[in-house]
Amino acid sequence: MRPQDRSYLESHEWARLEGDLAVIGITDFAVEQLGELVFLELPETGKAVDKGDTLGEVESVKAVSDFYAPVSGTIVEVNANLPDALEPLQEDPLGEGWLVKIQVADASATDGMLDAAAYEEVVSDQS
């Protein structure tokens, strides 16, 4: 079962609110579907983003996939351990493999996103 402390998008991103920060990543399902990861492009800090904006891309031996902002705000941090070492993203996408932190304007930032149970239904339909 996926962690209950975050919200999910059907496009396989997750967001966990920590006060006025949203920690953003891609799900284990997305990593599984991509296969072996070979490249990661992360956005610049300080960039303002709107929900749905492309944040960067993940490349695997099988495909290239964009990842999107599940919330609106300003990028205040990117995971400095990535993209030079993709193992944290490959092995722990819901933890150490987080991608960016976004300063959100308000606590309703994740309204409209899926909870863990609803996301499970989405991926079970895609498996």
Q: What is the pLDDT of residues 79-114, one digit of tens each?
A: 998 988 999 999 999 999 999 999 997 778 888 899
pLDDT of residue 109: 82
pLDDT digits (tens, 9 = 90+) for 14-24: 999 998 999 99
User: Residues 43, 78: contact at Cβ < 8 Å?
Assistant: yes
The pLDDT of residue 77 is 97
pLDDT for position 42: 96
Half-sphere exposure for 69 (CA within 13 Å, toward CB): 23
| Domains in the chain: boundaries | 7-105
R_g (Cα) of the chain, nearest Å: 13
Q: What is the mean pLDDT of residues 22-41?
A: 95
Domain at 7-105: CATH code: 2.40.50.100
